[in-house]
Amino acid sequence: MAPKVLIVCLGNICRSPMGEAVLRHTAKEREIDLTVDSAGTAGYHIGEDPDHRTISVCKKYGVPISHESRQVIQEDFYKFTHILASDNSNLNDLLRKKPGDSTVEVKLWGSCLDGEPIADPYYGGVKGFEDTYQQCIKLSNAFLDELTKAPDAAL
């Protein structure tokens, strides 16, 4: 069964939709079968499109992006095989909400590489979104490397 990955940030309009788009695009380029979605720990922007700077940066690099913001729901802890948090605050929120009988792996996305969280670019300029994009590329490749090296990888 193909892995199902949920990428999570706070509002689901900047980091996580960009991460979703980049991971999906990178997996496709590497011919790895993967389902990817994104959500936010907070419900500030439910139903909204990604931030215009997120869309702009993804389009600049030829990464298709189409997403409607949503909040993490209980079902996500059973539907996905991996939940990747953008920062430690998101991680702590997810771990608090994770049901005891859920087998999903919940971790900081940065733990796949250097342990660094993805800084929230929302209040900054386009450079912050460029930095987030570059980090998403590195983390996507690191995560996919982990998946393909796993002993039970059926990708």
Q: Which of 37, 87, 93, 120 is catalytic?
A: 120
- Residues 102-150 have pLDDT tens digits of 999 999 999 999 999 999 999 999 999 999 999 999 999 999 999 998 7
pTM over 0.75: yes
Q: Please confirm, yes or no, whether 58 is among the known catalytic residues.
A: no
Q: Please confirm, yes or no, whether 15 is among the known catalytic residues.
A: yes
The yes or no reply on domain 4-149 and CATH 3.40.50.2000 is no
Q: Which of 9, 58, 112, 136 is catalytic?
A: 9
Find out whether 71 and 43 touch, Cβ atoms under 8 Å: yes
- Residues 82-91 have pLDDT tens digits of 999 999 999 9
| Residue 122, token pair as written in the block | 């929302």
Q: Please confirm, yes or no, whether 136 is among the known catalytic residues.
A: no
Dihedral over Cα of 37, 61, 114, 31: its sign: positive
Q: Which of 15, 24, 53, 70 is catalytic?
A: 15
